[in-house]
Structure 1
């Protein structure tokens, strides 16, 4: 059986130099998995765990597809997604597969579009279900497909999603002895080298995803946000057996998540160069991935855009502006209309320092105005101005 798996790896190595670089040194072990699962060793090598009985029933080209399927989950950082509960995990598992199967020809050929799967409320009679994106929603992220699924099922009032998820090709459990931080470091290092050497050979959609991921956020937003704002906005309601139900003794109780009210202001004036704007968007996406709902305001001399930002929004992100800069109108909207607890302002500092009565965090580009930096630290404090 391992010979078949090695042959599949060899075929992938010959077909694409990018995947070849990542797959060099791959190992295989038998395990209690559906088909094939993936792990990462301490030295950054890929370890595939396989079910010999299940793999024996698959064609060679399907085995190649399943290996690439697992690898694409790693490349897309899907192991960083943390579902809220069992049902949410089912939604995420389907969304992750829709995001990657469209780039794997042998799986895409057998995929059921998400809209068809939702309309029917169940899958085919096959042992496995391969999920693809709706025909009018190609090349999106797992986050976008997750929102699509939730929206569609809420409209239809049906939630047979867990039964469908059980028939996906893997369980989407990332097993590794490495802490998440170290896992991210070793995988990004290998993927980054492979991309620098052979990224030009990848499909455009895959290439765009990797480009974003490799632009690592400079700031640890998980820590920054925790220190920056309090959690006071009531969010979603969820059931929990850890809390007794006041009305029914045999039923779980309810809790609410509490979310920070954060508004991000991005300076889109003409002094912001493309490199700085790309870094700003990368950082904003990193904030959104902390499961924090964000209001986003773009501004040059006046407000040019107001809306929500969700993870993966960089793909459809458009910059409005390009003139002079005045940050104050955006700050006023954040404080009065959104009543934001915290305001994060991305700017190069070539602008007058705004007056902010709420908590504010200034994130300055590398080529920022040093006078703005000094003034902001003097007025708002050193910890609220980041370079």
Structure 2
């Protein structure tokens, strides 16, 4: 490869990652977990550890397209596409993965479509819905079914031939090809044309996935990305100014990446113990052309106490949801060391009751049943608790009420835990859908 082109490509990749860190810290943070590299791979790819571009391909991309492809590779890692798909036909699975990833990026950028190196990034599942509404395996099954259906339609539209028996046998063998691809690992690298309803063939045009088959220690790679996602969510998941639709995607990624809310809670409660300092710089990013702050944890602050838990007991919250909420809190006490005080609220709020043990929790009696007001929580914070503010506020709710301004929280971190099926469109704070 031409050394000048390699240096120029690395420089552009570094610049685009810097823009990601500035404009979208969560994904920028994750992109920093991939080492930059160049190789004559014709397009771009990742093995979960490296972000690899062919300089000749990078030359064809605008800055926006280059950033799109960087995000594309990052999301393959986030969604574990690199280590999934065992026993599946590689080309079908690759297409399914790309539909999920491209659709996610388009939603994040607020776009309906995107051209990459002159071709539209495929993002619609075979049923016409956005790929982000499914996981890769679900889309893969749609593609299997679609390809099978198209082949049968082609058989039925053919004219009769004198050698009908032979033709019937050939067609039968042809229709069996799709199911054979699904079960025969020897077919993993064979080329196939995937026919869509409009008769066009789909293929991945701007990255390749065959490098995934060379990943040996998949468990280690998965653990590595678990930590990277948790770190990014902790440090950037509630970044100031993050658009709501991006915030929702970030939270969904954390959920789909295998993080339960107790893990996120633990990180959330520890997030204020970090001390950022540019001296020395974070050595994890030493290969970069710019510095990022290192951080050190204060070992004296490892507890999860002094947390104010507010539980929605309004009429819209069912008895079953309330029971599940109390069970979740009990579980959080065991897993994350949750301690503090609990209030119940509807249009009014009860005085905080301290809890440190399971018995304290069992002795509490829920009160409420009226309408829902989140304002009442922060009014109590201002009038009754200030200046002795809690370390953080956890609000269990179905989200069915008007939200106050963020400034009413007096900079106290707020974690909204939304019941299953509740309104997760929360304008500020950190949000987890239970």
> Where on the TM-score scale, by shorter chain, does this alignment land: which range?
0.3 to 0.5
- TM-score, normalised to structure 2, is 0.42
> Highest Rg: 1 or 2?
2
- TM-score, normalised to structure 1, is 0.46
